[in-house]
Amino acid sequence: MSVLKKLAGETASYGISTILGRSLNFLLVFIHTAAFVPSELSVNVKLYSYVAVASILYTYGMETAFFRFAAEDKHKYYNIIQSAIIISTGVFSAILILFSTPIINALGYPHKELQLIWVALILAIDAITAIPFALLRLEKKTQKFVVAKISNILINVGLNVFFLLGLKKVAEGDYLTTFQRFANTIYIPSIGAGYIFLANLIANATFFYFLRDEFKVFRFQFNKEVFTKLWIYAYPMMIMGFAGMVNQVFDRMLLEEFLPLGFYPGRTSEDALGIYGNVYKLSIFMALSTQAFRYAAEPFFLSKTDDKNSPATLALATKWFAIVCIMIWLGVSLNTDWLKILFLRKKIYWEGIGVVPILLLANLFLGLYYNISVWFKLNNKTYFGTYITMAGLSITVILNILLIPHFGYMGCAIAFLTSCFSMAALCYYFGQKYYPVPYQLGSIFGYLLSAGVLIYFSNQIVISNLALSIPYHALLLGLYLAVLIYLERKTVIPQKIRVKYRFLA
């Protein structure tokens, strides 16, 4: 249990930066939906989808390889991996910049070359700083990691506020008309939602300041034999990561192309993509716990390959990870009536709110998959990750093509859920053959099923008055939590309290 507490502590530390950072970043949904209509944000939704995929190619699995081999010689592997990434990053971003016009035209957004150039620079900075951040995680420099990440988010949010709620609104004469002429000399309307990329780029550039010590110790070094060993270990992770990320964003890549004309009355395909892309961000609450756990769990379990207690620890950690995710799924799904008002500032975005519970559940299964997947990293059988993720991607592609024409973006959500569940199931099946773990599936799926039933039946009771709806749903959530604590009382309530109150024993 002490080992689990240590992991929980590290997860909480990374969770502070992840959850607080992502929560602050989530405020951007509020800003963006207040400043632009869905069609104006569609280019951002699509480009950021490609950014997510390209970021995998830029680092090609070397973060995991660094964690795996750093114990042999941390500085040697740091220098070799960082050198390789700097070279490849320069090549990739140069291609994007040089061919920005044909690329952006092929994506269907002519005259947006500047946005693509900014995206290329964002990708370059993210890649070049990835291994220094991995070094911080390896050396347990949590505070420095947290400060860098949160500062980046604060600067990004601040610049979005300045550009979109300040400069844009003043230039359009919404307020502070005295400064309108000055604002018009700075604000360029044709850039529009492109200011979102500019804010992101400036914020990311600050990483070089926070990681200056990690860059000072870096020495350019390359060894073909060592890099070949790293590549053999990492490329299945890259393929798996690439396929996994495509799996997550493929719906936003396909939605415009496969949505029939007039599917949503009075809405264009750009509107549909903008609505879905921003409503999708409400599922970020689930991604918070997944990312925080992965930051701590990956180096934690990979460093304990010979620990006989690892399977039991992994099983217990997975169970509590699932419980936390189920509470998030339940909490968000029961409160979409006021969350949509708070974060989606134009009513047009509310049309897609029905996909949120499905997307949350999909991300829950994706998180379980990431937890279970530790087995093939520990056993150097990373090719299983490739096979499983490719299977998930195939399901996503086929179902999106089949479902989008009939169900619109609801089809995207269903396809993603089916894919994530399938990957988790396949990973569990093969994992039990090569690395048996005593997962508590009965309790996990019991909590899942009961939460799903509660969400379904609560949605059948429509309460339009928020003054009644909010406390009603809070009561349902509280009752569920109370039952959960009672059932898990032996692990969450100290023995002294259980002895004092016999009904808890």
Using the predicted structure, report yes or no on whether residue 502 has a pLDDT greater than 60: no
Is residue 456 located within the same domain as residue 469? no
| Average of per-residue pLDDT across 162-175 | 88
Confidence band, pLDDT 50/70/90 cuts, at residue 300: low
SS3 216: helix
**What residues make up the domain containing 140?**
2-460
Question: Percentage of the chain with pLDDT > 70?
Answer: 87
pLDDT recorded at residue 428: 94
| Same domain membership, residue 352 and residue 481 | no
Looking at the fold, whether 92 and 46 belong to one and the same domain comes out as yes
Q: How far is CA 42 from CA 214, 255, 410, in A?
A: 37, 11, 17
Residue-level pLDDT at 87: 95
Looking at the structure of the chain, the number of domains it has is 2
Quick: pLDDT tens for 130-161: 999 999 988 878 889 888 988 998 999 999 99
| pLDDT on residue 1 | 46
What was the pLDDT predicted at 25?
A: 62
Q: Do residue 456 and residue 348 come from a single domain?
A: yes
Give the least confident one: 370-374, 376-380, 412-416, 498-502: 498-502
* Predicted TM-score of the model (pTM): 0.79
Dihedral sign from CA coordinates of 137, 142, 143, 147: positive
Query: For the segment 256-274, what is each residue's pLDDT rounded down to a tens digit?
Result: 889 998 899 999 999 999 9
456 shares its domain with 477: no
pLDDT recorded at residue 294: 62
Both 452 and 469 in one domain: the answer is no
Q: What pLDDT is recorded for position 427?
A: 93
Instruction: Give the pLDDT confidence of 210-219 residue by residue, as tens digits.
Output: 999 999 999 9
| pLDDT given for residue 175 in this prediction | 83
What is the model's pLDDT at position 156? 92
Same domain, 111 and 193: yes
Which of 40, 29, 274, 281 is CA-nearest to residue 160? Answer: 29
Cα 501 to its chain centre, rounded Å, is 42
pLDDT of residue 494: 53
pLDDT (mean) for 36-49: 90
Pick from 247, 273, 242: nearest CA to 258: 273
On average, the pLDDT of the chain sits at 86
Q: Which residues of 321-342 are buried (b: 16+ CB within 10 A; e: fewer)?
A: bbbbbbbbbbbbbbbbbebbee
Angstrom distances, CA of residue 17 to CA of 20, 34, 66, 278, 408: 5, 26, 22, 22, 35
Average pLDDT over residues 58-78: 87
Of the candidates 102, 103, 127, 93, the one whose C-alpha atom is nearest the C-alpha of residue 46 is 103
Please report, for residues 97, 116, 122, 149, the alpha-carbon distance to residue 93 in angstroms, rounded to integers and kept in the order given: 6, 10, 9, 23
Do 215 and 126 have their domain in common? yes
CA distances from 187 to 137, 168, 170, 354, 495 (A): 40, 6, 9, 36, 63
pLDDT digits (tens, 9 = 90+) for 218-248: 999 988 888 998 898 888 778 877 888 888 8
**Same domain for 468 and 363?**
no
Mean pLDDT on 392-411: 94
Residues 269 and 161 in one domain: yes
Are residue 452 and residue 503 in the same domain, yes or no? no
343 and 492 belong to one structural domain: no
* Residues 136, 295: Cα–Cα separation, whole Å: 11
